């Protein structure tokens, strides 16, 4: 079985070079593992569960759409129009098995992961013609959906006025028109317009991938500045400017432009700012969009030790985002810098972040190499990670 969802003749290198954010890719039967994991009734029930982020989209007529956001109840699903859809976000929170399918996209860094969304629609159901500001792999899990892809969009693309969802009419020339069956995968680049219509009762699972934006980075840079003793001595170099003759009270647009360029150039050459930016970026991209639910079970130290001794393996819970930097080595989990890890603990989490399993032999090897930590200490840390929802232990 293929380790990722790509066709055998398209390597990750080829995909990233020729397709990523450039053109769509249809992969027939690219993810057969998803078949049978979800049924329509599962999603309808989940959509009515407390703490679930869900939306109900109703299409009463061509230009009459209605949006209802969670919390949803059984009454919301009564007297529905012929065309409707329900969308549930953050599926990795509710299904570790489904979350494990993120590993099929391991050729994309996990810091770009947004979340897994599922949409259910009866025949004719849709959420209209639209585009997204993120890349997405659309996987058919149940039933069939027809997908049409059209023009490239940008922030100036106009949406229909007075509608509760972002939709438009004009998709330009249709460049793709196919029906997806269970197990099929369709990669849709960011800002490529698309339109999906259910051909029967169907479930489509979306694996979304998103880059950070400047607003998010500014927020974390500000927070980092408040909690970091930044040595600004290397930035204490006066700007140079040769302004033209001007009104004595005016700060001219040309002066602002020139000083902005010098300011950005100094930041670009500052090693102190490099470290600050790296920390702010790692904090930003490792943060989850949705809050973690509290785990129900508390890991028992003796049970964890016994499971490892009997061949158990530890894997990342893909409901958590684990990210690390190497210069210097820092581990981040769900937007937090883990600054009190031993070298052995850091190596375990780094292993998990790369999609690798940790077994008893690996733990023994780490304990032998690091005299400051014992197996019991590592087992205790693993118990904490299990409780925090960062890892899963499989027998």
**Per-residue pLDDT, 371:** 78
200, 227: one domain: no
Mapped to the 3 state alphabet, what secondary structure does the chain carry?
Answer: CCCCCCCCCCCHHHHHHHCCCCCCEEECCCCHHHCCCCCHHHHHHHHCCCCCCEEEEEEEECCEEEEEECCCCHHHHCCCCCEEEEEECCHHHCCHHHHHHHHHHCCCCHHHEEEEEEEEECCCCCCCCECCCCEEEEEEEECCEEEEEEEECCCCCCCCCCCCCCCCCCCCCCCEEEEECCCCEEEECCCEEEEEEECCCEEEEEEEECCCCHHHHHHHHHHHHHCCCCCCHHHCCCCCCCCCCCCCCCCCHHHHHHHHHHHHHHHHCCHHHHHHHHHHHHHHHCCCCCCCCCCCCCCCHHHHHHHHHCCCEEEECCCCCEEEEECCEEEEECCEECCCCCHHHHHHHHHHHCCCCECHHHHHHHHHHCCCCCHHHHHHHHHHHHHHCCEEEEC
Q: At what angle do helices 214-226 and 271-285 cross, to 10 degrees?
A: 120
Q: Which domain CATH number covers 376?
A: 3.40.366.30
Is 7 a member of any domain? Answer: no
The boundaries of the domain holding residue 364 are: 301-394
- Taking the CA atoms of residue 314, residue 316, residue 318 and residue 321 in that order, the dihedral angle to the nearest 10 degrees is 160
Question: Is the CB of residue 280 less than 8 Å from the CB of residue 224?
Answer: yes
What is the distance, to the nearest Å, from the Cα of residue 227 to the centroid of all Cα atoms in its chain?
27
**Per-residue pLDDT, 241:** 85
- Residue 291 exposed, middle or buried by CB count within 10 Å (0-12, 13-18, 19+): exposed
**Per-residue pLDDT, 141:** 98
80, 219: one domain: no
**Per-residue pLDDT, 153:** 95
334, 377: one domain: yes
Residue ranges of the chain with pLDDT lower than 50?
A: none
Residues in the chain: 395
321, 380: one domain: yes
**Per-residue pLDDT, 329:** 92
361, 233: one domain: no
Number of folded domains in the chain? Answer: 3
Which of 133, 127, 135 is closest to 165 using CA atoms?
A: 127
**Per-residue pLDDT, 228:** 66
260, 377: one domain: no
Is 371 a member of any domain? Answer: yes
Which of 178, 170, 168 is closest to 150 using CA atoms?
A: 170
Is 292 a member of any domain? Answer: no
What is the Cα–Cα distance from 38 to 44, expressed in whole angstroms?
11
Q: Which domain CATH number covers 173?
A: 2.60.120.650
Strand order through the sheet with 145-152: 176-180, 145-152, 192-198
Is 3 a member of any domain? Answer: no
Which of 112, 119, 115 is closest to 93 using CA atoms?
A: 115
120, 138: one domain: yes
**Per-residue pLDDT, 28:** 97
Distances (CA, A) of 296 to 115, 344, 389: 22, 27, 10
Which of 38, 299, 293, 78 is closest to 183 using CA atoms?
A: 38
Q: CB within 8 A of 383, min separation 6: which ones? A: 299, 300, 301, 304
């Amino acid at each position: 079985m293929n380790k990722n969802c790509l066709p055998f003749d398209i390597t990750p290198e080829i995909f990233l070079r020729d397709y990523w954010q450039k053109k769509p890719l249809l992969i027939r039967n690219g993810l057969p593992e998803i078949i049978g994991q979800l049924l329509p009734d599962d999603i309808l029930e989940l959509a009515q569960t407390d703490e679930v982020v869900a939306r109900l989209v109703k299409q009463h007529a061509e230009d009459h759409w209605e949006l209802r956001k969670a919390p949803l109840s059984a009454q919301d699903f009564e007297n529905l129009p012929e065309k409707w859809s329900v969308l549930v976000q953050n599926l990795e929170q509710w299904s570790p098995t489904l979350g494990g399918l993120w590993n099929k996209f391991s050729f994309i860094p996990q810091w770009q992961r947004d979340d897994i969304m599922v949409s259910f629609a009866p025949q004719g159901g849709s959420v209209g013609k639209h585009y997204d500001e993120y890349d997405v792999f659309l996987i058919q899990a149940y039933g069939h959906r027809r997908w049409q892809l059209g023009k490239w969009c940008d922030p100036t693309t106009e949406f229909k006025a007075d509608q509760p969802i972002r939709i438009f009419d004009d998709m330009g020339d249709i460049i793709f028109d196919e029906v997806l069956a269970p197990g099929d995968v369709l990669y849709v680049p960011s800002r490529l317009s698309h339109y999906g219509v259910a051909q029967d009762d169907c479930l489509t699972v979306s694996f979304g991938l998103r880059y950070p934006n400047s607003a998010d980075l500014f927020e974390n840079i500000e927070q980092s500045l408040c909690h970091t003793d930044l040595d600004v001595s290397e930035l204490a170099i006066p700007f140079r400017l040769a302004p033209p003759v001007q009104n004595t009270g005016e700060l001219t647009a040309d002066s602002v432009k020139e000083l902005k360029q010098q300011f950005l150039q100094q930041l670009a050459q500052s090693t102190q700012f490099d470290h600050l930016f790296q920390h702010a970026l790692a904090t930003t991209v490792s943060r989850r969009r949705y809050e973690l639910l509290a785990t129900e079970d508390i890991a028992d130290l003796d049970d964890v030790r016994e499971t490892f001794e009997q061949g158990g393996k530890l894997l990342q819970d893909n409901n958590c985002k684990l990210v690390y930097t190497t210069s210097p080595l820092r581990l981040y989990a769900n937007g937090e810098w883990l600054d009190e890890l031993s070298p052995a603990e850091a190596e375990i989490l780094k292993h998990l972040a790369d999609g690798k399993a940790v077994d008893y032999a690996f733990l023994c090897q780490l304990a032998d190499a690091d005299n400051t930590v014992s197996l019991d200490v590592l087992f205790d840390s693993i118990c904490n990670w299990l409780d925090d929802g960062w890892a899963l232990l499989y027998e």
